[in-house]
Amino acid sequence: MTLSGFPLTHRGSWQLLANPGSKSDDIAAMGILVVDDLPGNRVLLQHILEATGFQNVLLAESADQAFGVLGMNGAKTEPGVVDLVLMDVMMPGMDGIEACRRIKASPDLCDTPIMMVTALSEVESLEDAFAAGAVDYITKPINQVELHARVRSVLALKQAMDERRHRERELERREKELLEVTRLLEETNERLRHLSTLDGLTGISNRRRVMEYMEQEWRRSARDRTWLSVLMIDVDFFKNYNDSCGHQAGDDCLWMVANCLKRNLNRPADMVGRYGGEEFIAVLPETPLDGAVNVADMARESIVSLNIPHPDSAVDPRVTITIGVASCMPGGDSTISDLITGADRALYEGKAAGRNRVAAGQATAAPGKPSEEGEAMVPDAQAAPDHD
């Protein structure tokens, strides 16, 4: 292999680089660029370095040639070819100190260590060399043991820094990956959370979501002493509809009814969901029984206005619903289950009374501290007449 016309030799003894198989092997394989204007000096340095085990010694006779080997001046060199520069101080043209400054100013090379090689008489110029970024120096005439020891220690440090930089880059990469995975996971969780609150057929809230909401509003109503109303909603003669129109039409009908209810029960705190089959449930916070009955009746009328033909209904040629309403001011021994049972019972009575109607059931408050607006509702604890 040649680089910029300079032959690389792979000869080399292991006199001083002991421990083959250890990191010393890696250090022996690291690239050293010798820059010196005198051929005798270059050959001597190369000879000593190779004799003490370094396998990749490159030579340059000027700063310019060195820049070429290092990939400066636009030339492209493989990264990591040169791990250490041995730089002669006194050279015709650009001297070693200026060359050192230029190499250190290059973003790709600022981490490449440079060791100055200088005659004893030039030692005073070393201050400039260190200011230019040199890491160490060695004086001529060259002492073989000293050269080997200095070169080896600088290369060991370079190797440690390379490894550390590599680890840091790797950590950074993994951290980025982890952040990306976390972001995707959160997105997926959010989507799942959303999906797990929706009914698959109708796209409105599912029973679980409505029950969660009801528990939350139950606690809030108990704290604030406000009325909480529940509507139980049933599509009239839905089994007949399915039997005469088919299950696909049945599903479409449920979708239309569900979304019509959602459009009509649209005050900010209201929530409607599918309770199961052709039954829906609505939670109306801060709403006493009479208000809930009004809301329910508007919802019932809006379903009639959908004008979905029902070929087998005993009450109307269109799809209709019956709604049971119950209200409660949570507290004392009352439970959510009592409230739902109350609305269910009202629904049953509404069906018994002929369907396509709203039936008002119980309005119960915890004993002792009914609110002003609720007080009038409390005495009528039994089923009220429907509002059709």
- Interacting residues with Mg ion (CB under 5 A): 37, 88, 90-91
Structure tokens at 82: 């040169």
Q: Please state the closest distance from residue 44 (CB atom) to Mg ion, in A.
A: 12
Minimum separation from the CB atom of position 47 to Mg ion (A): 17
DSSP state letters, 121-160 = GGGGGHHHHHHTT--EEEEESPPHHHHHHHHHHHHHHHHH
Task: Identify which of residues 88 and 217 has a Cβ nearer to Mg ion in the complex.
Answer: 88
What is the closest distance, in whole angstroms, from the C-beta atom of residue 118 to Mg ion in the complex?
A: 9
Contact 53, 59 (CB under 8 A): no
Burial of 281 (0-12, 13-18, 19+ CB in 10 A): buried
Identity of the residue, 41 or 320, whose beta carbon is nearer to Mg ion in the bound complex: 41
Catalytically annotated residue among 50, 217, 278, 349? 278
Cβ–Cβ under 8 Å, residues 48 and 55: no
**What is the amino acid identity at position 55?**
Q
Check: CB of residue 63 under 8 Å from CB of residue 99: yes
Q: Two tokens at 60?
A: 């340059």
Nearer CB in complex with Mg ion: 117/358: 117
CA-to-CA distance for 55 and 53, rounded, in angstroms?
6
CB nearer Mg ion, residue 24 or residue 118: 118
Q: How far is CA 224 from CA 227, 369, 370, in A?
A: 9, 12, 11
Between 33 and 91, name the residue whose CB sits nearer to Mg ion: 91
d(CA 290, CA 324): 12
Residue 278 designated active-site: yes
Q: Strand, coil or helix: what is 287?
A: coil
**Minimum distance, C-beta of residue 6 to Mg ion, in the bound complex (Å):** 18
Cα angle 329-334-336, degrees, rounded to a multiple of 5: 85
Cβ 143 to Mg ion shortest distance, Å: 18
- Active-site residue numbers? 278
